């Protein structure tokens, strides 16, 4: 600790943040004009404004200003292997070559459900959904 420097205060922290994230501030100002509160998800709330990510790899991400961060969000738990893990990238590329949105049933969903059944034996049947709300709407007694 350098006792010759004044203590780091909230105003100094915010000033340093603003100095390092000018492009994020600009994007936030643009977002506020077209998105309510400037945010597409409440979990991205960060004062005085959120960072805007430009890329990510492994456990790190970089913002549009070039700053590097450790990504503690981890895709809210969905990225246990990190961003752009080679095995995941290869699997996605393989699937994209086969098609991206068939809008019909396919063998992959059957195999995936069977895997879930094996991993979670009490899951007698499986339904894939996009949200908890959808799960609630589709639940049967």
* CB 33, CB 27: distance < 8 Å: no
Q: Given this model, what pLDDT does residue 141 score? A: 47
Q: Which tokens hold the place of 36?
A: 């309510």
* CB 90, CB 96: distance < 8 Å: no
Q: Given this model, what pLDDT does residue 43 score? A: 77
Q: Given this model, what pLDDT does residue 4 score? A: 64
Q: Given this model, what pLDDT does residue 85 score? A: 93
Q: Given this model, what pLDDT does residue 6 score? A: 62
pTM, 2 dp: 0.68
Domain coordinates of the chain in residue numbers? Answer: 102-141
* Measured distance CA(110)–CA(94) in Å, rounded: 18
Three-class SS of residue 70? Answer: strand
- In this prediction, the residues of the chain whose per-residue pLDDT falls under 70 are 1-9, 140-141
């Amino acid at each position: 600790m350098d006792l010759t420097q004044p203590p780091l205060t909230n105003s100094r922290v915010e000033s340093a943040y603003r100095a390092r994230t000018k492009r994020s501030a600009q994007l936030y100002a643009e977002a506020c004009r077209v998105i309510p509160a400037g945010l597409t998800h409440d979990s991205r709330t960060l004062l005085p404004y959120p960072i805007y990510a430009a890329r990510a790899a492994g456990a790190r991400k970089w913002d549009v200003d070039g700053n590097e961060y450790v990504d503690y969000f981890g895709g809210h738990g969905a990225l246990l292997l990190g961003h752009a893990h080679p095995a995941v990238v290869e699997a996605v590329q393989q699937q994209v070559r086969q098609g991206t949105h068939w809008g019909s049933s396919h063998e992959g969903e059957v195999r995936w459900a069977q895997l879930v059944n094996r991993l979670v034996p009490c899951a007698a049947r499986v339904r894939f959904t996009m949200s908890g709300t959808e799960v609630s709407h589709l639940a049967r007694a």
